[in-house]
Amino acid sequence: MKTIEEFMQSYFAEWTELNYIQEANSEAFLERFVSITYLHKTREERNKDTLYRQMHPAVILSVENKGETTEAIVSQPLGCEHELRLYHLRLTKYGWKIERKGWQCYFCKGSGRRDEDRCSSCDGVGWRYYGASDRK
């Protein structure tokens, strides 16, 4: 059984590989639909992002058991910056599985507060959930 750290490292390694495959697969599409200038700029941006990801891989900042689930806060690359993400993981008979992912709230920067009030964007929890991770 992998530790949660080993599981997350495998997840990021395979996620990075999946991104490379998606980028390679989109080349023919871009060549058909965008100008040569746009294509070159796209490749330039991708190369910068790839270099950044290689030099600054995802880092697990903390892991905390919350009863049925475990939460891991991760600093991970997005473009040429790092963002904080909150992963909710559950240990199943198949090993660790990600149940949902949260993004640090852009508006309160994870504090849950805006001025004197509770942040209305994240309901005061400091994290936002989208798509499959949204449980509202």
Task: List contacts with Zn ion (CB under 5 A).
Answer: 105, 107-108, 119, 121-122
* Pick 57 or 124: Cβ nearer Zn ion: 124
- Shortest Å distance, C-beta 39 to Zn ion: 38
- Shortest Å distance, C-beta 84 to Zn ion: 12
* Pick 74 or 105: Cβ nearer Zn ion: 105
- Tell me how far apart the alpha carbons of residues 48 and 25 are, in angstroms, rounded to a whole number: 18
Q: Tell me, what amino acid is at 106?
A: Y
User: The tokens 């991760």 sit on which residue?
Assistant: 74
DSSP string, 25-55: HHHHHHHHHS-HHHHHHHHHHHHHHHHHHHH
- Shortest Å distance, C-beta 10 to Zn ion: 31
- Cα–chain center distance at 50: 15
- Shortest Å distance, C-beta 89 to Zn ion: 23
* Pick 8 or 108: Cβ nearer Zn ion: 108
Residue 128's CB is within 10 A of a number of other CB atoms, namely 20
* Pick 86 or 105: Cβ nearer Zn ion: 105
Residue 76's CB is within 10 A of a number of other CB atoms, namely 19
